[in-house]
């Protein structure tokens, strides 16, 4: 499968898996991939609960079902707002919640 096809299927797969799984403290979901491995990184505003961690695992399992030759790694990070999360982005950004900047009203 070409990189473009993997990217397209992965982005659609993750967005579909996130339906109903985005909690108020989920700041971003980002992913990376190669020929055999997919990495999904969930970045939370504060420490996620066990239930929120389980939602991440369920979403990643749904994504993995669409890829026959890939393995998946799930990373769950806590990085409180307003700290910059851009250094934690992987190859693709799939979900990003709106957060006010210094120039915008909160």
Tokens of 51: 């239930």
Give the domain range for residue 61.
Answer: 3-96
Given a cut of 80, whether residue 2 has pLDDT beyond it is no
Asked whether residue 15 is domain-assigned, the answer is: yes
Q: How many domains does the chain have?
A: 1
pLDDT digits (tens, 9 = 90+) for 8-66: 999 999 999 999 999 999 999 999 998 889 999 999 999 999 999 999 999 999 998 88
Predicted TM-score of the model (pTM): 0.90
Q: What is the DSSP letter of 66?
A: T
Q: What is the DSSP letter of 49?
A: P
Evaluate whether residue 106 is within a structural domain: no
Structural tokens at position 33: 């991939």
16 within a domain of the structure (yes/no): yes
The pLDDT tens digits of the residues spanning 62-89 come to 998 888 778 999 999 999 999 999 999 9
What per-residue confidence (pLDDT) applies to 35?
83
d(CA 33, CA 3): 9
Residue 60, CA distances (Å) to 15, 25, 49, 56, 75 in order: 11, 18, 17, 6, 10
Q: Is residue 102 part of a domain?
A: no
Tokens 């505003």 locate to: 45
CATH assignment at residue 25: 3.30.70.1350
């Amino acid at each position: 499968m070409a990189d473009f096809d993997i990217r397209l299927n992965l982005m659609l797969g993750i967005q579909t898996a996130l339906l109903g799984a985005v909690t108020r403290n989920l700041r971003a979901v980002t992913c990376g991939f190669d020929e055999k491995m997919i990495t999904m990184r969930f970045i939370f505003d504060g420490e996620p609960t066990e239930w929120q961690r389980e939602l991440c695992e369920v979403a990643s399992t749904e994504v993995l079902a669409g890829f026959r030759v890939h393995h998946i790694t799930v990373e769950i990070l806590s990085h409180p707002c307003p700290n910059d999360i851009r250094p934690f982005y992987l190859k693709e950004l799939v979900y990003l919640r709106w957060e006010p900047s210094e120039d915008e009203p909160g």
